[in-house]
Amino acid sequence: MIEARRLHILRAVADHRTLTAAAAALYLTPSAVSQQLTALEQETGHRLVERSAKGVRLTQAGEILLSHAHAVFAQLERAEAELAAYGSGKAGTVTVAAFATGIAQVVAPAVARLADTAPGIRIRVLDAEGDASLPMVMDRQVDVAVAVEYRGAPPADDPRLTHVPLYAEPFDAVLPVTHRLAEAARIPLAELAKDPWIGPYSGNPCHDVVVLACENAGFQPRLEHSSDDFRAVVALAAADAGVALVPRSALRDMDLTGVVVRPVDGVAPTRRVFAAVRRGAEEHPLIRPVLDALAEAAGT
């Protein structure tokens, strides 16, 4: 009989692509992960992974088993949800990982709502960008992620996750007040092709939004300054260090002295924000109220 614990290890290896990274996510040693994979191959009678200097990848048999593992884990999440409901499940801790402006926009208001509507649920909040928070959900380090769509992100139909759309917001152009386009009502991105740019580090989902918007305008942005803190980005723009695209909510209540903020001409670059949980966990009596509160805070 196949052990669910070993299926969990197989999925971690598929997600992280190396035994070392999978072991770190599972709080195991690489040798323990290797031993469990070997045992799983013996149980199934098939070679499930191929090892190389670049890491590991699943064989066709491994991919077949992984597709069933997704269904098994979703059903186990549903079983936990039903058992929690049977035992009332009205008190407990839910850990939410979200990026900074998502915390301000929806997580903090949801925490306030839950204090009134579900006082038995304690929310623990971790600041994490979407590219970090989604793996944290899949590795069971957190229960809910508030994340942003980005290139390479698990799609909405990923069998490991359930997505709950929250909100979408445009990016605005932030220019020094001395910029040649400071008086324009709307900013054509193509006109900024030769400017120095300020933006998030590669890996931050907002970095992908900025780069893709510039690519669609026909150029690669010359990113001379990098920061994941939008206050720092705006401060650098005010110092005439370059131009930037910043999510509109991040500009709220910010000191904009020295810059002008203008909408982008044409189709504005947009970040789409969603909540994600492990598939099957969306009806857990502790998690469902949190998802509902996030959706209410987002106005969806």
Sorting pLDDT into bands at 50, 70 and 90, what band is 87?
low
Among candidate residues 235, 239, 246, 244, the one with its CA nearest the CA of residue 270: 246
Determine what percent of the chain is predicted with pLDDT higher than 70: 98
Residue 149 pLDDT > 90, yes or no? no
pLDDT tens sequence across 102-125: 999 999 999 999 999 998 889 999
Mean pLDDT in the chain?
91
Q: What is residue 76's three-state secondary structure?
A: helix
Residue 162 pLDDT > 70, yes or no? yes
User: What does each C-alpha distance from 255 to 27, 49, 183, 259, 270 come to in angstroms?
Assistant: 43, 53, 19, 9, 22
Average pLDDT over residues 237-247: 97
Average pLDDT over residues 251-260: 93
Average pLDDT over residues 264-276: 92
Residue 88 pLDDT > 70, yes or no? no
Phi, psi of 205 (to 5 degrees): -55, -30
Average pLDDT over residues 198-215: 90
Sorting pLDDT into bands at 50, 70 and 90, what band is 217?
very high
Name the H helices within 167-229: 205-216
Is the model's pTM score more than 0.85? no
Predicted local distance difference test score (pLDDT) of residue 85: 62
Residue 95 pLDDT > 70, yes or no? yes
One-letter amino acid for residue 170 of the chain: P
Sorting pLDDT into bands at 50, 70 and 90, what band is 216?
very high
